[in-house]
Chain A
Amino acid sequence: MKSLIPIDKLQIKNSIKLDSGEYIDSCEVAFKTYGTLNKKKTNAILVCHALSGDQFCSDINPITKKQGWWNILIGPGKVIDTNIFFVICSNVLGGCMGSTGPSSINPQTKTNYGLKFPVITISDMVKVQEKLVSALGIKKLFAVIGGSMGGMQTLEWATKFSNKVNVAIPIATSYRHSAQNIAFHEIGRQAIMADPVWKKGNYYKTRKGPIGGLSVARMIAHITYLSELALQRKFGRNLQNSDFFSFNFDTDFQIESYLKHQGSSFVERFDANSYLYITKAMDYFDLSVKKGGLSKVFKNSNVNFCFFSFTSDWLFPTSETKTIIKSLNSSNAMVSFVEVKTDKGHDAFLLEEPEFHATLKGFIQGQIGKHEI
């Protein structure tokens, strides 16, 4: 087989059956790799991105020209050392960084899918990733790692393709989306759909999509990624431009300005329909309803797990992780778990957290000893 490594996109010829029952034809997966795959193809780590992420996890993102979203962790000599490992990161199904999603051209109609795009699940995303991994000639991944939605994909890999994974590292995640998580996502979706430019998802001919709605969705979500303490520490009640209140509805407080910036920079790189589809996929995720309960899905698992949670993460609190640990313990699995003390909230998994990085590095080193790479 011809090597696919230098190519950034894989086209999957066979149609893929989705959880919804629908099929998706000539699906494309955009991906990026770092490091070199060894001869035995045993040193591959699949990195799964979160809701707003993309395949550019390390180095400089060629599109935004900013550092990759996990550049702090992945690269030569870093915690996930690309001198040792072959890192694969793909844009999720439904995304907008090159993989097939609602903004892609529907091969049948030759126009953008829009809402004609089938509703997808985390499991569908993982099915597509598995095709990519197989196409790269990898029979078994050394590890799958991801935070938040990336952690959901990691858990899905560890249950659906447990024979193709040695090590699973789910971070700041859960086995299901809670009512509160769904609630926040629904507000975001409603904000997008209330934007008059949205037009039931059929906005691709307009110059700018529903950026007002998408920006509000991002602002709401961004609050859930932080903690009250971190917000207070960073912004307090500080005013943005003056020492006095403006007594109008312009930006007074620094926190307002910060959120607006988060919103406006997000809309430049993200598709509103993708946001609808991906948040829905997260809301549908629930491992506990599969195969008769959470403890059953992990039964006889040979995967080595290492979970991380963060004390101030209220979006995916430690209690969620502990529920999974409980099930894994009762199914006799190899599981490690660390709760990292931090006030940085859910986003801590993306940030400089020395304790988190030290434990992760140690765990990976320990696993190198256990699995031949």
Chain B
Amino acid sequence: MRQEALKVSPSSQPSMTKKQSKYDEYKRRRKILLKSQAYIVGLISLLALWSIWGTGFNLLSLVFGTYEILVFIFTDMFPPDLSVIGSLISPALDTLYMSYVGMVISVLVSLILGVLAANNLSPHWIVARVSRSVTAFLRSVPAVVWAIILVSGIGLGPLTGTIAIGLSGIGILGKAYAEVLESIDENQLEGVRATGANWFQVIGQAVWPQFKAGFVSWSLYKLDMNIREAAILGLVGAGGLGYYLQGSINLFQYKEAATAILMIFALILLVEYMTAKIRERII
């Protein structure tokens, strides 16, 4: 009897307590997880409250303001003065040129910086760091600031806007390209590398096919964004529709300004439609 009891206990009872302690462990870990999630949610809420206080965000002013805004739009801006459309075509084209050439500049430079910054392709980690820092710097300076700096050197006009857009675009595309490149499948590169292919051949034959979709997507997205940016750059004298917009607002010609705004809207829709079509074709 005693021997039986002894036999039973090591097999059944310890396993029960083992199970119990495993469950406790599970509960303990779960509690830690929930606690850290609660901290994160709390932190985000605090930051939101702080920002609301800091910006003086007030729903009431939005409600009352809406009336004033509508009055302004309907009395001062409506109907848009469509007779100025003829004189808007050339500034609209300027905006398009600035956006497109700006994109081409950022694509060309970002391709080089992106490859150098991607950890899996970079010839050396120091090169990757330097390239990352350059793109981060270009990204941290907004296009408007670039434009203000460039206006002092190059003067007013679309060239200033183009370079400003190009420079800030490098910051964004360089980072985006590097991230796409870092997510490509290393095994495919290895397969090509094992045939005796050199670095450029691996880039062309194994990296490019994987990179193409992300490359096209990001570049077209930047073109899309550039139209918006180009309109804002006009406000600091970098030419295009924004420049015209600012001029008419300064002269209180709000009906002309309304036409310019509609024109910007039309351009954005056009580019969006075209980039969507191109993306469909290529990807």
A and B interact: no
List residues of A whose CB falls within 8 A of some B CB: none
List residues of B whose CB falls within 8 A of some A CB: none
